[in-house]
Structure 1
Amino acid sequence: MSTSSSTATVKPRPLVLEMPEYHPPLAGRDALRLDFNENTLAPSPVVMDRLKQITAEQLTVYPEREVGERKLAAHFGLEASQVLLTNGVDEGIHLVCCTFLEDGDEAIISPPSFFMYDVSISLMTRGLVKVQADETLQFPFERVLNAINERTRLIVVASPNNPTGATASRAQLLAIANAAPHAVLLVDEAYFHFHGETVLDDLATTPNLLVARTFSKAYGMANLRIGMLAGSPELIGYLRKASSPYNINGIALDCLSAALEDDAYINWYAEEIRTGRERVMGALDEMGVHYFPSAANFVLMKIGPLHKELVAAMRRRGVLLRDRSADPGCDGYVRITVGVSDHVTRGLEALKASLDEIGWKPQY
């Protein structure tokens, strides 16, 4: 057989060529991390103790995800058939899109929002419908309802939303689900612990509802990549078919089990952040910095043309912020994560000094 000298190259599907890429700024983060909405302290001490008990034999065996799903379901008052563990919420979003979308279908999101919605939807269809929030950055409920049509197969709503901190009410979410019985409503509750309102209890009466939760934020296990999708046994069954059976490693499963044993820690941490959030917003009022009221563990600030200078000045003081100016409708906006009390103090001191250094003035 002769070898072809053709210069043809292998190409992916056209949708892959067209889809956007996500490049989070993860380099050089040896500082106070107020940029990625992570737990700024640590996981539960119970988790840390469990890590110390990992044996060599545990590293040699394949993980048993089903054991973790049974524990997770019991913790949330669900059946194991209603829960799927995922490699972070990122994988959960990806699985939902791969399972329920094909090219030509429409999927609705409301920017500014988590960029992985855009990426995963665009991998499957050109029918991404973006219902942009207005200048208030509140959830555009009525316009999302009006965007639903017979081609709609997926609606994604984050509540609280990243990067705005805005929420959609339970009544609004259920109204959307009822308006689109032919579509999946994915409610991303990654920041639930800092808000408190959930639609998890509505799964039994809302057959097209999926709820995503993460163990990266309040639980402080971002590096272990643990997420959850909850829904009807039928929807979760479809997603399970599309999922790898070994998508969660055994160490992560052990740590998840430990984290679920320590409700006292997670409740303490969530209250610490809610208190810190009020401190941050109060301090921003005093500084004359416009911000958007948040129900999450971060606050989005309107800095204006000096947004890059502020991020750089904060880094020089050992504090990282996230410039969100590239997000739709967020030109000049910078996000600050709310940490535990001493981290809030340090962050606010650095913020005031940095604003003075760059010559920032309130914009009334």
Structure 2
Amino acid sequence: MSAPAGQQERADTAAPAGKPAAPAPRAIVQAMKEYHPPLGGRGGMRLDFNENTLACSPAVRAALSAVTTSDLTRYPERGPVEALVAEHLGVAAEQVLLTNGVDEAIHVLCQCYLDETSEILLPVPTYSMYEVYASATGAKIVCIEADAADFAFPYERVLAAITPRTRLIALANPNSPTGTSMRREQILEIARRAPQAMVLADEAYFHFHGETVLDLVGAAEYPNLVVARTFSKAFGLAGLRLGMLAAAAESMHWLRRVISPYSVNALALACLPAALADTAYLDWYVEEVKAARAEFGAVCSELGVRTWHSDANFLLLAIGPKHREFCRAMHAHGILVRDRSNDPGCNGCVRITVGTRDQMRAAQDALRTVLQGL
């Protein structure tokens, strides 16, 4: 399994005797990828960020109301809630780390395992924050493009790209912005072929897909497997910024040394147990989204708009050269959507989050009107 970056001294960073060491700037800094979330002007139906489009569980609201002003004076303690999450998921408590959203989880992995001597493998298009955080470490970013015709996972090309310098492989399953997924056995074979690297299975959209490798976290055969989950999507807690990592206890030892001890806030920790307990609400919302996804996809087909099979809570639409006009027109009709034309292989594509059936029927009406206008 990969050793964390920076655990060995480097001769080229040693300071002359009697003189303090100065931070050595990395050449990669000039090429760092930045992310500027287009969060302004989001008045309308939120079909742009893959959030829960309705509400969190009513039980979460009750838990939030029970937080006292005295509770807010204390530093948050994530340990007891991590143990509860571990029990909920069927893994050991020492294998779970709660994070400030999956973004922090990715950041921690990159800081722990990447440096300027290493490589990260990214099947693209994919979630942009992998590249953002990896670029800050100076690691070489190796992108492997998906099949152009159907965005199928480039499994054989990923295997061929593994080298002794590979230290992290990020696999979003299902993927964003495409919604496509990979087979469980493919993830496990990649982990077997790259024992020197951490293999991240980012299962942010797990609830809309249902397949996981979480049951093999910590297994002797896969010590390098790490799974990410989020509570921002199906659970509807995006505003509380709450995610998690599950990995072997040995890996967690290093990850806990990198993460801030208080990065998960007290409100998030107070609300998560209630969210986990209300399985009825979660199951209802997930089934509602799945039904709406099938219905909206059928309407797109009827209107002659190509979509790709999605196992997530969104669909990618091939709009074509007028993708910008399409997004503006949908916004004018009160529907927010996301232009993904800048993603590799996605020129002319727009992503639409899937909400409830009622919400998506309103989106269908807007879609018909906008397409006629274009």
Runs of 5+ in structure 2 lacking a partner? 1-22
CA distance in 2, matches of 1:209, 1:60: 37
Q: Which residue of 2 aligns with 1:356?
A: 372
Contact 2:57 2:275 in 1 (8 A): yes
TM-score using structure 1 length: 0.94
Match of 1:152 among 157, 166, 178: 166
Match of 1:162 among 176, 180, 197: 176
2:266 partner amino acid: G
CA distance in 2, matches of 1:126, 1:233: 25
CA distance in 2, matches of 1:337, 1:199: 25
Contact 1:191 1:297 in 2 (8 A): yes
State the superposition RMSD in angstroms.
Answer: 1.2
Q: Which residue of 1 aligns with 2:350?
A: 334
Instruction: Confirm whether residue 201 of structure 1 aligns to residue 189 of structure 2.
Output: no
1:203 partner amino acid: V
Q: Which residue of 2 aligns with 1:99?
A: 112
Measured after TM superposition, the shift of residue 126 of structure 1 is 3.7
Match of 2:297 among 264, 267, 281: 281
Contact 2:218 2:249 in 1 (8 A): no
Measured after TM superposition, the shift of residue 15 of structure 1 is 2.6
Measured after TM superposition, the shift of residue 149 of structure 1 is 1.1
1:111-155 CA distance string (max 9 Å, x none): 111100001111112411000112121110110011011111110
Q: Secondary structure at the match of 1:204?
A: coil
1:260 partner amino acid: L
Aligned residues: 349
CA distance in 2, matches of 1:335, 1:233: 37
2:37 partner amino acid: P
1:314 partner amino acid: M
CA distance in 1, matches of 2:114, 2:37: 26
CA distance in 2, matches of 1:14, 1:57: 47
Measured after TM superposition, the shift of residue 11 of structure 1 is 9.8
1:198-242 CA distance string (max 9 Å, x none): 000111321100000000000001010000000100111110010
Q: Which residue of 2 aligns with 1:220?
A: 236
Q: Secondary structure at the match of 2:245?
A: strand
Match of 2:260 among 210, 232, 244: 244
Match of 2:321 among 305, 326, 329: 305
Contact 2:95 2:218 in 1 (8 A): no
CA distance in 1, matches of 2:25, 2:254: 26
Match of 2:136 among 123, 138, 146: 123
Q: Which residue of 2 aligns with 1:133?
A: 146
Match of 1:187 among 198, 201, 211: 201
Instruction: Confirm whether residue 22 of structure 1 aligns to residue 30 of structure 2.
Output: no
CA distance in 2, matches of 1:30, 1:151: 46
Q: Which residue of 2 aligns with 1:49?
A: 62
Match runs of 1:247-266 below 5 Å: 247-266=263-282
Contact 2:115 2:139 in 1 (8 A): no
2:46 partner amino acid: R
Match of 1:267 among 252, 259, 283: 283
Please say which of residues 267-276 and 190-199 is displaced more in the overlay: 267-276
User: What percent identity do the matched residue pairs reach?
Assistant: 52
CA distance in 1, matches of 2:281, 2:253: 32
Contact 1:106 1:125 in 2 (8 A): no
1:254-308 CA distance string (max 9 Å, x none): 1111111111111111111111110111111100101111000000000100101
Measured after TM superposition, the shift of residue 60 of structure 1 is 0.7
Contact 2:99 2:245 in 1 (8 A): yes
1:312 partner amino acid: R
Q: Which residue of 1 aligns with 2:102?
A: 89
CA distance in 1, matches of 2:359, 2:29: 41
1:128-187 CA distance string (max 9 Å, x none): 100011212111011001101111111000000000001011010001000001110001
Match of 1:229 among 245, 261, 271: 245
